[in-house]
């Protein structure tokens, strides 16, 4: 029945991370002892005070009506205050739109900004959904590559060379999914210097991993005065607050764009779950110690996994500065075989690791880096130790 479907949906690729997670679940349902390192999902429970706020909202019985499309005023106010105080982004509640996760916020922004043929500069390696959302909005992704030797970060010269008279937006994440790279103040300042003269170009800064940052400073592009009116800051509660299933994200941008995104959202989803909004408000205004403790745990896991990965021959393993991923270069294993399976590329290697080591990972091809594989360390210490041991043993069979 594909001939009945629109060109829009048939051209859209499935999310590689979700696809691999589904394969892992299928094998697990068959009784296989699968360890999942594929999804970017915290293994922590949502902090207690956030869960209690949700229960209270249910029991009060007053949050059952349709909410305002861009979010409850008190949540938007709390987000605006957070951005102003922590991120040094001058914003107001009227500039905030709360959506069904940061992905929804990114989609809203791109759908409202792009006309057919408009170009979007994408910092690679990039999160898998950026490219497909840009194409869905009839834009053209222009990928610039942050090389491993530069910590997977692009520079201002690359941005300048990629700009054209068709450029409408720039999108990146910091801390980065999939690499864990974090842009420093000076690096972002240099890029801002290139973009500040282009008032027709808007930066979408994806900061969903803000609180999982192992450097001394998180820097927001929107904090630079010259970029204030041309930056759309995207964030949410999934990663730092372990609230993936609650689906709460938000953007802050120019007031005209916020109004446009609210208009778009009003026709597609309306406002997001009322109870989830009350939980998010408690997360933002309540005790932040669980968030800090989670980040400390991720750092310990990063260091532990790093030492284990060093024992695998042939791997090139940059040290991530944030998020909860490793993005090693596995190309030393391409062309090898265990006698039955020949590894041609990262896709083959991911499937080999899934079937032989019973560990799910994600090919770097989905992120624009075909030599790499993404490993999430959002798993327990014991699972991580077993998973890396299994991967090492499976790779040792390839000659």
**What CATH number does residue 133 fall under?**
3.40.640.10
Burial class of residue 326 in the structure, from the number of CB atoms within 10 Å of its CB (0-12 exposed, 13-18 middle, 19+ buried): buried
pTM of the shown model: 0.95
Give the percent of the chain with pLDDT over 90: 90
How far apart are the C-alpha atoms of 82 and 93, rounded to whole Å? Answer: 11
Clarify whether residues 102 and 207 are in a common domain.
yes
pLDDT, residue 2, reads: 62
What digits encode the pLDDT tens for the residues 242-295?
Answer: 999 999 999 999 999 999 999 999 999 999 999 999 999 999 999 999 999 999
Clarify whether residues 363 and 299 are in a common domain.
yes
- Domain end, chosen from 285, 310, 340, is at 285
According to DSSP, the β-strands at 359-360 and 119-124 are: unpaired
In a domain, 59, yes or no: no
pLDDT, residue 28, reads: 79
Clarify whether residues 127 and 264 are in a common domain.
yes
In a domain, 57, yes or no: no
Clarify whether residues 69 and 157 are in a common domain.
yes
- Domain end, chosen from 270, 285, 300, is at 285
Clarify whether residues 246 and 117 are in a common domain.
yes
pLDDT, residue 14, reads: 80
**What CATH number does residue 333 fall under?**
3.90.1150.10
Residue carrying the six token digits 């403790």? 293
In a domain, 58, yes or no: no
375 phi/psi in degrees, rounded to 5: -120, 120
Clarify whether residues 154 and 260 are in a common domain.
yes
CB 154 within 8 A of CB 123: yes
Clarify whether residues 331 and 391 are in a common domain.
yes
pLDDT, residue 215, reads: 95
Nearest CA to 257 out of 222, 210, 281, 207 is that of: 222
How far apart are the C-alpha atoms of 324 and 179, rounded to whole Å? Answer: 9
pLDDT, residue 241, reads: 98
In a domain, 55, yes or no: no
In a domain, 350, yes or no: yes
DSSP-derived 3-state class of residue 78 = helix
Clarify whether residues 76 and 89 are in a common domain.
yes
pLDDT, residue 211, reads: 98
The mean per-residue pLDDT over the stretch 103-120 comes to 98
Q: Which two tokens stand for residue 224?
A: 């630079």
User: Does position 160 have pLDDT exceeding 90, yes or no?
Assistant: yes
Helix, strand, coil distribution of the chain in percent, nearest 5: 45, 15, 40
Clarify whether residues 151 and 274 are in a common domain.
yes
Structure confidence at residue 132 as a pLDDT band (50, 70, 90):
very high
Clarify whether residues 113 and 213 are in a common domain.
yes
Structure confidence at residue 13 as a pLDDT band (50, 70, 90):
confident
Give me the number of domains the chain comprises: 2
Burial 153-170, CB ≥16 within 10 A → b, else e: bbebebbeebbeeebbbb
- Domain end, chosen from 240, 270, 285, is at 285
In a domain, 50, yes or no: no
**Angle of helix 255-268 relative to helix 102-113, nearest 10 degrees?**
110
**Mean of pLDDT over the chain:** 95
In a domain, 342, yes or no: yes
For residues 30 and 361, which has the higher predicted lDDT (pLDDT)? Answer: 361
pLDDT, residue 1, reads: 57
Clarify whether residues 205 and 254 are in a common domain.
yes
What digits encode the pLDDT tens for the residues 90-111?
Answer: 999 999 999 999 999 999 999 9
pLDDT, residue 242, reads: 97
Nearest CA to 348 out of 333, 328, 359, 368 is that of: 333
Clarify whether residues 202 and 295 are in a common domain.
no
Structure confidence at residue 360 as a pLDDT band (50, 70, 90):
very high
User: Does position 84 have pLDDT exceeding 80, yes or no?
Assistant: yes
The mean per-residue pLDDT over the stretch 371-392 comes to 97
In a domain, 300, yes or no: yes
Domain extent at residue 216: 64-285
């Amino acid at each position: 029945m594909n001939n009945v479907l629109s060109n829009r949906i048939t051209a859209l690729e499935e999310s590689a991370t979700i696809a691999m997670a589904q394969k892992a679940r299928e094998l697990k349902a068959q009784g296989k002892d699968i360890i999942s390192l594929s999804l970017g999902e915290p293994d922590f429970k949502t902090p207690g005070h956030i869960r209690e706020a949700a229960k209270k909202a249910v029991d009060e019985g007053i949050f059952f009506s349709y909410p305002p499309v861009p979010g409850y005023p008190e949540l938007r106010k709390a987000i605006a205050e957070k951005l102003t105080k922590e991120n040094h982004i001058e914003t107001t509640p009227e500039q905030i739109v709360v959506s069904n996760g940061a992905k929804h916020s990114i989609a809203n922004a791109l759908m409202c900004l792009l006309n057919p043929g408009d170009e979007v500069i994408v910092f690679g390696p990039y999160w898998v959904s950026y490219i497909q959302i840009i194409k869905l909005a009839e834009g053209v992704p222009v990928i610039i590559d942050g090389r491993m030797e530069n910590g997977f970060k692009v520079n201002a010269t690359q941005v300048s060379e990629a700009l054209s008279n068709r450029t409408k937006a720039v999108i990146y994440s910091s801390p980065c999914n999939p690499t864990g790279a974090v842009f420093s103040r000076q690096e972002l300042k240099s890029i801002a210097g290139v973009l500040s003269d282009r008032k027709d170009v808007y930066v979408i800064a994806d900061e969903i991993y803000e609180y999982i940052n192992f450097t001394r400073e998180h820097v927001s592009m929107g904090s630079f005065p010259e970029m204030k009116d041309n930056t759309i800051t995207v964030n949410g509660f999934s990663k730092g607050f372990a609230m993936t299933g609650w689906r709460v994200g938000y953007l802050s941008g120019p007031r005209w764009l916020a109004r446009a995104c609210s208009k778009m959202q009003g026709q597609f989803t309306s406002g997001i779950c009322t109870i989830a909004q009350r939980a998010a408000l408690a997360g933002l205004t309540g005790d932040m110690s669980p968030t800090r403790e989670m980040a400390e745990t991720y750092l310990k896991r990063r260091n532990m996994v790093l030492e284990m990965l060093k024992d695998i021959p042939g791997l090139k393993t940059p040290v991530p500065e944030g998020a909860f991923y490793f993005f090693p270069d596995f190309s030393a294993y391409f062309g090898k075989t265990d006698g039955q399976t020949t590894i041609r590329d990262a896709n083959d290697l991911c499937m080999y690791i899934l079937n032989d080591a019973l560990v799910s990972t994600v090919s770097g091809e989905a992120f624009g880096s075909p030599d790499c594989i993404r490993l999430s360390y959002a798993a327990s210490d014991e699972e991580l130790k077993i998973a890396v041991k299994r991967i090492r043993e499976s790779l040792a069979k390839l000659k």
